[in-house]
Amino acid sequence: MKFLVFIAVFACFNLKAEIKDIHLSLISTNYVDKTYSLFVGVDEKNEIQYIKTINNKKNKQKIYPNNLLKNNVPLVKAAGIELVTLRCENFNPNIGCPITIKYPINVIVMAFKSFKAEIKKVDNKWGLYIGPKKFTKMHLIARKPLGLLIGVKRIEVSQLKENSSSYSLAINSQE
């Protein structure tokens, strides 16, 4: 009996060891000094098993299995407000999915804006893309009249390239 329990425990650890985390994006904001990280967990076939978010300041992580990816996945919270959420559309663990990244531009009047991106494999490597451009950073610029956070003014996405040059795209909300 003890041997069977040992085998079951060993099998669980072995299965867990087969899933590895792939870093997709570092998320920062000019409102607070903490950062967040976004990962996908992939198995030995390089298929997505979950999305994981980490609050890097608190080292708090949340795992969202594939069956929850059609719901909003909170990426950033500040002052009790979900600043950025991600939702997968037509998720496929082998090819990824188009995603909608939604953020509030004004929580007082419940106004939101969103943009489209993709989680996809290129050359067998997972990444976040807007069109053909890969991005690994999202920086949120807060809308804070009189110092009070009411939403996100814009999101800047960027990718540091191997030759140390970078590009930046700003996704602006309407004033």
**Contact (CB, 8 A) for 9 and 17:** no
| pLDDT for position 51 | 95
DSSP for the chain? -HHHHHHHHHHHHHHHHT-EEEEEEEEEESSSS--EEEEEEE-TTS-EEEEEEEETTTTEEEEEEGGGTTS-EEEEEETTEEEEEEEESS-BTTTBEEEEEEEEEETTTTEEEEEEEEEEEETTEEEEEETTEEE-EEEEEEE-GGG---EEEEEEEEEE-TTS-EEEEEEEPP-
pLDDT at 168: 54
Establish if 141 belongs to a structural domain: yes
What type of residue is 79?
A
pLDDT recorded at residue 115: 94
Residue 11 lies in a domain: no
Number of domains in the chain: 1
Residue 79, pLDDT score: 66
Encoding tokens for residue 23?
Answer: 């870093």
Strand 48-55 and strand 36-42: the pairing is antiparallel
What pLDDT is recorded for position 5? 43
> Is 80 inside any structural domain?
yes
Strand order in the sheet with 48-55: 60-65, 48-55, 36-42, 20-29, 137-143, 151-160, 166-172
The residues with which 158 forms a beta bridge, in sequence order, are: 137, 168
Q: Indicate whether 150 belongs to any domain.
A: yes
Give the pLDDT of residue 93: 95
Which pair of structure tokens corresponds to residue 117? 């991106």
Segments of the chain with pLDDT less than 50: 2-15, 163-165, 167, 173-175
What is the rounded distance in angstroms from the CA atom of residue 16 to the CA atom of residue 89?
26
Locate 144 and state its tokens.
Answer: 């804070």
pLDDT given at position 11: 46
- Predicted local confidence at residue 77, as pLDDT: 77
In this structure, is residue 1 part of a structural domain? no
Q: Please, how many CA atoms are within 13 Å of residue 72, restricted to the half-sphere of its CB? A: 12
153: in domain: yes
Looking at this protein, which amino acid is placed at residue 142? Answer: A
Residue 166 resides in a domain: yes
Evaluate whether residue 2 is within a structural domain. Answer: no
Range of the domain at 38: 17-172
